[in-house]
Amino acid sequence: MKEKLRLLVNDGYLARGRPREMFAELPFVEVVGATANGDSTLGEIESLAPDMNYARSADARQKLDLNDPVD
């Protein structure tokens, strides 16, 4: 069996459940945590070491320097 993609979800406090539930339905994804702001996202990235971070909130994108598109 292939390993699952370890995902950290950041989508703000009120909307956090929806993306987490959506990603949890994917058989190849393991949601390892959810955060509400950029500061908590940085801390969870260090402690959980996810393979990927889904950052929707502007605060998280700013803290992670994700506002500019990747070329």
Average pLDDT of the chain is 77
* Helix extents (H) in 25-67: 38-48, 58-63
Residue 21 near residue 7, CB atoms below 8 Å: no
Q: Domain 5-63 in CATH: superfamily?
A: Response regulator (3.40.50.2300)
Rg of the chain taking only CA atoms, in angstroms: 12
Average pLDDT rounded to a whole number, residues 53-63: 70
pLDDT of 64 above 70: no
pLDDT at residue 15 is higher than 70: no
Q: What is the pLDDT of residue 9?
A: 81
**Do the beta carbons of residue 55 and residue 33 sit within 8 Å?**
no
Map out the domains of the chain as residue ranges: 5-63
